[in-house]
Structure 1
Amino acid sequence: MERRRRVAVLALVLLLLSACHGRREFSVKNHDQSLIYDHTLAKTIVEYASAVYMTDLTALYTWTCSRCNDLTQDFEMRSLIVDVENCLQAFVGVDHNLNAIIVAIRGTQENSVQNWIKDLVWKQLDLSYPDMPNAKVHSGFFSSYNNTILRLAITSAVHKARKTYGDIGVIVTGHSMGGAMAAFCALDLAVSTQDPMFHKYIQCPDS
């Protein structure tokens, strides 16, 4: 049962990674449950999810950090967001190879009391988004995205980037707690833009 659940989760992640992007091919063969996906795209997105953990903010902002290379070398940083009070970090920029805006949100910091408290506030909260009756979410993760500077800073940076580069796609990525906030962020951006062609990619790798 656990194996089936993991396969279902993997399939959902790969679907979200590949949906709506003309240059990315995705197909599912139901008869043998095999998946075809773009490994380079997946690895690139994971590299962004890894880079957002860097603590050297100068190297991160100038994209010269030890994790700011390989498949993400041509990234253009637009906004580095640091919420010291809540121990949260994210960045928004443009990947010119993918022709997409990248939003990366950091997950739990090992020594952050604030992060661990939010992780443990698991009580379900009613979600008040359009066309989502009876939806509930993890209140700690939801609060970390919506009741801190993250939401306004990220949405503002994304809208400014789209004014500069046009209505290009947006890739939202994060690991662990950052993956949960990435899901809220992608939903929030989709609703706020009201753009039916808005491209949403979510990568939430296991720790």
Structure 2
Amino acid sequence: MKQIRWMKFAILLSLFVLTSGRGSKYDCLKMKQTENYSVYNHTLATIIAEYASAVYLTDLTELFTWTCSRCNGLTEGFEIIELIVDVKHCLQAYVGYAKNLNAVIVAFRGTQWNSLQNWVQDLYWTQLDLHYPDMPDAMVHHGFYYAYHNTTVRPAVLNAIRRAKEAHGNIDLLITGHSMGGAMAAFCALDLKISGETGNIQVMTFGQPRIGNAAFASHYIQRVPRTIRVTHEHDIVPHLPPHYHYFSQKTYHHFPREVWIHSIDNGCLIYTLEELCDTSGEDPSCSRSVIGRSIPDHLKYFGLDMGCYDPRTCKIVVDPRLDEFTRRDIDGNTVFSRYPNLIINVNNNNKSTYDYLIS
């Protein structure tokens, strides 16, 4: 009888080992990096969210001179070095210097409001169809990858980062974006690390979709461990493209580390909790614990608008007095560029005036 019990135990143990073996071999790699994960800071998150919100604006004069409606409060005094508008692919980003953080800020715009619903529907069927270069087993979606790597955005962003560091030294890089902009922010940070960037890089995204499989997530977090993905309530986009638990290498998988902002109702009091999730990237007790179907939750983070609600596609407004700071290619893609520490004032006398900031 005793032998039978031991045989049953051995069989159960074998089944447990076999079942565990079906999980991704990259799970253990992720766990080894736990001590290096970024520490979440609420104040920093609210500052970075303001940068992610401002990049959506279409008045490029106000954005370039940092006088826009979202260019104040915690980001007052920010200095844009390059503002990049890829008209052909409807992309926008900027690079600049934040004196209060002593850091270079890189912000990528997400999907425009007028195409958001179609984009969300497409995410349900987005396939893992591209091997990430020089990363064994790592798969991503070509659309996410190409938006950063195969447009005018990448060379302009890298050039602006180089110029910012020449002016301000080897200071920290803070890279952000909302929605599709979050995906581009992650690819940018990974690109910098692979290219040999030696400075500190921190990534904070808002409402970011999944962009690769578990192997990619593991490779990513080893190289860019200071990454925070902020999610909000029932925001639909972090649930897309779908994650299928039983097909670990054939499905999309978030990289860590998630911070889930959600409301708690204890019967007599409703309060907001910013919950730091586990290091798996797919914590079942965080945003995955709810059915994510809300587009309104996607468009508000920390009370800030994440989007621009103009019905026209890729509409931009720019003052011709900024032409001296402008470069355009044959497709109309535009880069507004200035020397670091240069203050630009567009006054009411139809002239662009500028002077150097005295530090």
TM-score normalised to the size of structure 1? 0.76
1 CA distance for matches of 2:166 and 2:114?
38
User: Does 2:173 align with 1:175?
Assistant: no
Q: Deviations over 1:120-171 (max 9, x none)?
A: 5822111014xx3111112211111111111111111101111111100101
Contact 1:107 1:177 in 2 (8 A): yes
CA distance in 1, matches of 2:91, 2:72: 23
- Partner in structure 2 of residue 82 of structure 1: 85
- Aligned residue for 1:189, secondary structure, equals helix
8 Å contact 1:106–1:178 — kept in the other structure? yes
Q: Counterpart in 2 of 1:189?
A: 192
SS at match of 1:68: coil
- Which structure shows the bigger proportion of residues in helix conformation? 1
Percent of aligned pairs with the same amino acid: 55
Partner of 1:165: 168
Q: CA contact under 8 A between 1:99 and 1:169: conserved in structure 2?
A: yes
Deviation at 1:38, TM superposition (A): 1.8
Aligned CA-pair RMSD = 2.3
Say which SS state the counterpart of residue 193 (structure 1) adopts: coil
| 1:180–1:204 CA contact under 8 A, matched in 2 | no
Deviation for aligned residue 1:111: 2.5
Q: Choose the corresponding residue for 2:51, options 26, 48, 52.
A: 48
Q: 1:122 aligns with which of 112, 118, 126?
A: 126
Which of 145, 149, 161 does residue 146 from structure 1 map onto?
A: 149
Is contact 2:189–2:201 with CA below 8 Å preserved after alignment? Answer: no
The answer to whether the Cα contact below 8 Å between 1:122 and 1:138 also exists between their aligned partners in 2 is yes
What residue is the counterpart of 1:93 in the other structure? Answer: 96
Unpaired runs of 5+ in structure 1? Answer: 1-14, 20-25, 27-36
Equivalent residue letter for 1:189: L
**Larger of the two Rg values belongs to structure:** 2
Match in the other structure for 1:200: 202
For structure 2, the residue ranges without an aligned partner over 5 or more in a row are: 1-33, 208-230, 232-297, 299-359
CA distance in 2: counterparts of 1:45 and 1:39, whole angstroms: 10
Shift of 1:193: 3.3
Q: How far apart are the structure 1 equivalents of 2:141 and 2:71?
A: 31
* Deviates further, 61-70 or 120-129: 120-129
For 2:132, the aligned partner's letter is L
Contact 1:122 1:139 in 2 (8 A): no
Q: CA deviation at 1:190?
A: 1.7
Measure the CA separation in 2 of the matches of 1:139 and 1:88: 16
SS in 1 for 2:66: coil
Matched residue of 1:58: which SS?
helix
